[in-house]
Amino acid sequence: MDVAVLVVATNATTIVVVGSGNATSSVGGMWENASSALSPLATARPYGGDHFTSFSNSYKAIHGYLSVVICAFGIVSNVLNLVILTRKNMITPTNSILTGLAVADMLVMLSSLPFSLFWHILFLRPAWKPLSGSFGWNVFMVFHMQLTVLCHTISIWLTVLLAVFRYIAISYPSHSRTWCNLQRATQAISIAYAASLVLCIPNYLNYDVQASGDNVTTSYTPVFSSYAVANDALLKNMNFWIYGVIVKLIPCIALTMLSSLLMRALYTANERKQKLASKTGRQESDKTCDRTTRMLLVILLLFLITEFPQGILSLLSGILGDEFFSNVYVPLGDLMDIIALANCAVNFILYCTMSKQFRETFRDTFKPGVDSQWTRLMPNGNSRLSTMEMKSFV
């Protein structure tokens, strides 16, 4: 059988897959005939491939270590997100969506940490390299690839849902409690998870693990399944359009439009607030709402910065074919992976820096002794302080 090596590039992972010779064409920028990418060329590579390859070779030395650090931080930070966002005083429709987002991001980190540690660090060492052909590792590699795509699909659509809910809250405040209540948020999150599971079915069927070798040594490799290459690679083509268009470009376009509408709605709301004579309590509530909206806008914009370039490169790979994919997309794969991992880990920092309620809940959760200090400072053993007395201690 004519065998060619193919590269499967997904978010947070770039995996080598082996397929039969009749399946070496690039399908929508998701696969590449590695022989054309890895063999030396007599002339300069098209699309500036020499520069991208040079960058890739320089960056690979640190990619594995950087990935492990980000994944370790991301696991801890997303656990903290889940602890804080599920506290009784923090349960809101918006925070419920952020909780669903934290679960998906944490699953990506839990899978990416061992993958990065072994694939990018340990397997480069001679003592560990033979294990890269073991059955267990290759099963995990396919599982990791599929889980990453699934969780990333969930994250994208939850981010779109987050933008929709916030836009309604800003633009239609009188209807937001009905349209965007906790029950509807829970239902929408469940639909996002269930729809993503169904949407990724072609990806589950796309890969298999194949044994090769003789009676003495047997090595295993991820391969395209028989379903993937049947009927002129119909499943692979379907998988590309689902991943490249429905999972990538459509949500990115929707997020761009929603972010623009949200910024416009926030500007309009601020103008309206300035024209109205408001009480002090209401002004503080509006300020809190504005801070929350700005924090969510930062989350949306960071997501767009991460996703839009990948969506555009994936689309161009599908249009321009193997040369663009092998010379541009693949050399930038590790960079796109690390940006995607960083995006999964950064939300905790955003919450801490931009949400006063999150910081206070974090403090109350992990420093419960703070309240008892107030009691010891109270005169005459009184367990209550007046507003003026409390201000005198601040």
Asked whether residue 373 is domain-assigned, the answer is no
Number of domains composing the chain: 1
Q: What is the mean pLDDT of residues 115-138?
A: 92
C-alpha span between 11 and 153 (Å, rounded)? 10
Contact 161, 189 (CB under 8 A): yes
Q: What is the pTM of this model?
A: 0.79
Strand order in the sheet with 218-224: 3-10, 13-20, 218-224, 207-213
For position 186, what pLDDT does the model report? 95
Residue 270 φ then ψ, to 5°: -65, -40
Average pLDDT over residues 295-317: 82
15: left (phi over 0), alpha (psi -120 to 50) or beta: beta
Q: In this predicted model, what pLDDT tens digit does every residue of 52-100 receive, in sequence order?
A: 899 999 999 999 999 999 999 999 999 999 999 999 999 999 999 999 9
Domain presence at residue 97: yes
Cα separation, 271 vs 155, whole angstroms:
33
- List Cβ neighbours of 57 (8 Å cut-off, separation of 6 or more): none
pLDDT at 328 over 70: yes
pLDDT surpassing 90 at residue 390? no
Name, in order, each residue with C-beta under 8 angstroms of 317's C-beta and a sequence gap of 6 or more: 26, 28, 29, 30, 324, 325, 328, 329
Does 142 reside within a domain?
yes
Query: How long a stretch of residues is the chain?
Result: 394
Is pLDDT above 80 for 35?
no
**Nearest one of 249, 63, 99, 294 to 186, comparing CA atoms:** 99
Place of tokens 């939300």: 347
Tokens of 371: 């309240």
Q: Is residue 374 part of a domain?
A: no
Residue 15: φ, ψ to 5°: -120, 135
Nearest to 114 by CA among 63, 67, 60: 67
Q: Looking at the domain assignment, is residue 379 inside a domain? A: no
Considering only residues 2 and 345, tell me which one the structure prediction assigns the higher pLDDT. 345
Categorize the per-residue pLDDT at 41 as very low, low, confident or very high, splitting at 50, 70 and 90.
Answer: very low
Single-letter code of the amino acid located at 283? Q
Q: Is the pLDDT of residue 180 over 60?
A: yes
Read off the tokens for 243. Answer: 């991943």
**Encoded tokens for 275:** 């024209």
227: pLDDT confidence band, cut at 50, 70 and 90? confident
Contact (CB, 8 A) for 73 and 79: no
Q: Do the beta carbons of residue 14 and residue 333 sit within 8 Å?
A: yes
pLDDT digits (tens, 9 = 90+) for 159-179: 999 889 888 888 888 888 888
For 22-32, b/e burial (b = at least 16 CB within 10 A) is ebbebbbbbbb
With cut-offs at 50, 70 and 90, classify the pLDDT of residue 224.
confident
pLDDT, residue 372, reads 47
CATH of the domain at 292: 1.20.1070.10
Domain span holding position 70: 3-38+45-367
Residue 92 identity: T
Is residue 260 situated within a structural domain?
A: yes
Cβ-count burial 338-368 (b if 16+ within 10 Å, e if not): bbbbbbbbbbbeebeebbebbeebbeeeeee
156: in domain: yes
Please give, one letter per residue, the 3-state secondary structure of the chain: CCEEEEEEEECCEEEEEEEEHHHCCCCCCCCCEHHHHHCCCCCCCHHHHHHHHHHHHHHHHHHHHHHHHHHHHHHHHHHHHHHHHCCHHHCCHHHHHHHHHHHHHHHHHHHHHHHHHHHHCHHHCCCCHHHHHCHHHHHHHHHHHHHHHHHHHHHHHHHHHHHHHHHHHHHCHHHHHHHCCHHHHHHHHHHHHHHHHHHCHHHHCCEEEEEEECCCCEEEEEEECHHHHHHHHHHHHHHHHHHHHHHHHHHHHHHHHHHHHHHHHHHHHHHHHHHCCCCHHHHHHHHHHHHHHHHHHHHHHHHHHHHHHHHHHHHHHHHHCHHHHHHHHCCCHHHHHHHHHHHHHCHHHHHHHHCHHHHHHHHHHHCCHHHHHHHHHCHHHCCCCCHHHHHHHC
Whether 388 maps to a domain, the answer reads: no
Say what the pLDDT of residue 27 is. 30
What is the pLDDT, as a whole number, of residue 43? 60
